[in-house]
Chain A
Amino acid sequence: MKSFNSTLAAGLVATIVTAQPALAEDTIKFGVLAPLTGLYAIVGERTSQGVNLAVDQINEQGGILGHKLEAVIRDDETNPDTAVRVARRLVLQDDVFALFGPLHGGAAIAVLNEAQRLKTPHIPWAATEEINTVNCSRYTWRVGSSAQQTSRSGAVVAQREGLKKWATISSDFSYGRSVVNQFTDNLKRLMPDAEVAEQAWPKLGEEDYSPYISNIARADPDALYIGLFGADVVKFLKQAKAFGLNEQVTIFTDFGGNHVVLKALGDDAPFGHWASSRYLHNYPDTQMNRDFVQAFKATYDVYPDMAAGEAYAAVHVMAEAIRRAGEPDKDLAINALGGLAYNAPEGWIIMRPSDHQGLQSAFWGKVSHDDAYPFPVLSDIQVISPIQAAHPDEDSGQGCRN
Chain B
Amino acid sequence: MDIAFVAAQFLNGLAIAMILILIASGLTLLLGVLGILNFAHGGFYMLGAFMMFSLGQWGLGGMWFWVGLITIPLALALVAAVVEICLLRPLYHRERLYTLLLTFGLAMVFDDLALLIWGRDFKTVPVPELLSGAVSIGNYGFPLHFIFIIVVGPVVCALLWYLLYRTPFGKLIRAASTDTEMLGALGVNVNLVFTGVFALSAALAGLAGLLVAPIRSIVPGMGLEIFIESFIVVVIGGMGSLGGAIIGALLIGQIKAFGILALPNFAMIFIYLVLLAVLIVKPRGLFGEKTV
Contacts and interface: CB of A to CB of B under 8 A. Distances in A.
B213 to A, nearest CB: 11
A217 B140 contact: yes
A249 to B, nearest CB: 12
Contact of B221 (A38, A203, A206, A268): A38
Nearest to B119: A7
Nearest to A245: B141
Contacts of B8: 214, 217
Q: Which of B57, B119, B120 is packed against the most chain A CB atoms within 10 Å?
A: B120
A266 B124 contact: yes
B122 A37 contact: no
B3 interface: no
A266 B15 CA distance: 25
A202 B267 contact: yes
B12 interface: yes
Contacts of B171: none
B219 interface: yes
Contact of B141 (A6, A199, A238, A244): A244
Interface string B58-83: 00000000000000000000000000
A358 B221 CA distance: 34
Given A4-B118, A217-B139, A243-B141, A172 B268 contact: yes
Interface string A258-294: 0011011111100000000000000000000000000
A267 B126 contact: yes
Contact of A172 (B9, B140, B267): B267
B217 A11 contact: no
Given A214-B9, A231-B217, A45 B120 contact: yes
A239 B124 contact: no
A342 interface: no
Interface string B135-155: 000011111011000000000
Contacts of A264: 121-124
Contacts of A42: 120-122
* List of 6 A-B pairs having minimum Cβ-Cβ separation, nearest first: A7-B119, A244-B141, A264-B122, A41-B120, A242-B143, A210-B12
23 contacts: A4-B118, A6-B119, A7-B118, A37-B115, A41-B115, A41-B220, A42-B120, A199-B264, A202-B260, A202-B267, A211-B260, A214-B5, A215-B9, A217-B8, A218-B5, A238-B214, A242-B127, A242-B132, A242-B143, A243-B140, A243-B141, A245-B141, A266-B126
Given A41-B219, A199-B264, A243-B142, 19 more contacts: A3-B118, A4-B117, A4-B118, A11-B115, A38-B220, A42-B121, A208-B12, A211-B256, A211-B260, A212-B260, A215-B9, A217-B8, A217-B139, A218-B5, A234-B217, A235-B217, A242-B127, A243-B141, A244-B141
